[in-house]
Amino acid sequence: MRTPIRGEVRVEYGQTYVESDPNCLIPELREAFAGQREGLCGAATPGFLWLITGLHTGSVGFTVEVHDEEPALDPEWEEVVEASFRPVSERTRLSQWAGEAAWDLGLAVTDHRVRYCARGFDEGRRRDTRSPEDPPADTYLLQFWPAPPAPDRVIRQTSPHAAYHHDHARELPPPPTPEERTEAERRAREAKARAAEQRRLHRERWEWGGRLPSATLRAVGGNVRGLLRFDPDLVHTLDAAGPEVQRRVAVRAAHRACEAAGLTDVPWIAGALTALTEGRPLPPPFDGPDESRTAMWDALRTDPRVPGTSVLEARPPERPPYQPPEPHPDQPMPAPRRADTPRPTRQGLGRYLGTPTPTRSAKEQFHATYAEIRPADEPRPPHRISQPHYALPAIPAAADPDPLRAALDAVWHALGTHGEHYPDLLAEVRALCGEGLGPEA
């Protein structure tokens, strides 16, 4: 015989638990006792036991024994019930209410018979609450041994309060069959997946300015996310404009960026703009691989004809923070807590039962406690940016083989080049999209 627990366990609301599924939620009382004949040890939920105590709040004497075979029944116990139990994992624990503390029982994943015994049940009920200086009121023994599944039963009953619990359990409907439980779990998974997809689409619709993006926009890459922060409607307009208009927008944006930066009189930049307008390959130094273009930046840095123009950086318009959707009235609310929800452990309990299982690191606890009260970072004031450095990438961006990406990226670079004056540029781009065909630059 093993005795993994001997001492006192704190109970609240007259209950404590045995749980073996680390991801399970505490079932409702009627679910734990559904279809049973006895009402002190709820074993109707697989891998879980709901244990009723007479005392409402405080510490009760508690012992857990694990036997190799059925033990003899001691006549000192006034209330005795039995049920069947099979752990669903290698980790079976006795857990206090709200997960305040938990202790491993070391049960094998096999069928067990469990016997739950009580003494002083009515006295615990009469006292209701026990403070540390009060003498013990009620005491409990929980025994396990290997045995095939069998119906639950009342072995001994002397307490009127225990009889009340037995009568209540007998009035409950039977638990679902394994097939019914599997079907319910399948429906719950599908409902959860649908709700998650609805939340994802709701967030995506908000990110894209109130409407869902096309598959092309989702896959385009580049600087589309940056442009979304400034004008999501324009992003959708460019997507719908078609490749011919997209290419015209890309070329126009590259020209406007270089004009704003004062680069159109630099010969090697003017030649690239001409090639871009005529649809020819870009000349050096713009013909390097997309990942580097070192020669392009070296030319910009070393050419004395490049002006040092600057402007205050562009700032996107303020936008209300995202608000998740309200749950649908028919959508089940999440359970109020998990079985392992961390709460402060009562000091001194480990003297009897060992150290409770830690559930959160000190670092995680610090961030959970102080994350919401740290002052928010002050917004950085706008600073001046070098327009030539923002404008130059618009040229190779506008030459991208994908006309939509070319338009989005070229407009993004032109927007940055215009800085605080970017609304004028976006108005011109929007007008060009409305024109359809028009002069290129």
pLDDT in tens, 284-339: 999 877 656 889 999 999 999 999 999 999 999 998 899 998 876 555 444 333 33
What whole-number distance in Å separates Cα of residue 349 and Cα of residue 103? Answer: 11
What whole-number distance in Å separates Cα of residue 85 and Cα of residue 204? Answer: 46
pLDDT in tens, 356-395: 333 344 334 434 433 333 444 556 788 999 999 999 999 9
State the pLDDT confidence band at 441, using cuts at 50, 70 and 90: very low
352-361 as b/e, with b when 16 or more CB fall inside 10 Å? Answer: ebeebbeeee
Contacts of residue 73, Cβ cutoff 8 Å, sequence gap at least 6: 80, 115, 117, 155, 156
pLDDT score recorded for residue 53: 97
pLDDT score recorded for residue 61: 96
Contact (Cβ atoms closer than 8 angstroms) between residue 425 and residue 240: no
If one counts every other C-beta atom within 10 angstroms of the C-beta of residue 86, the result is: 16
Please tell me which residue, 196 or 379, carries the higher pLDDT value: 196
Tokens 């039995």 -> residue: 82
Longest Cα–Cα distance of the chain, Å, equals 105
Please tell me which residue, 182 or 80, carries the higher pLDDT value: 80
pLDDT in tens, 244-287: 999 999 999 999 999 999 999 999 999 999 999 999 999 999 98
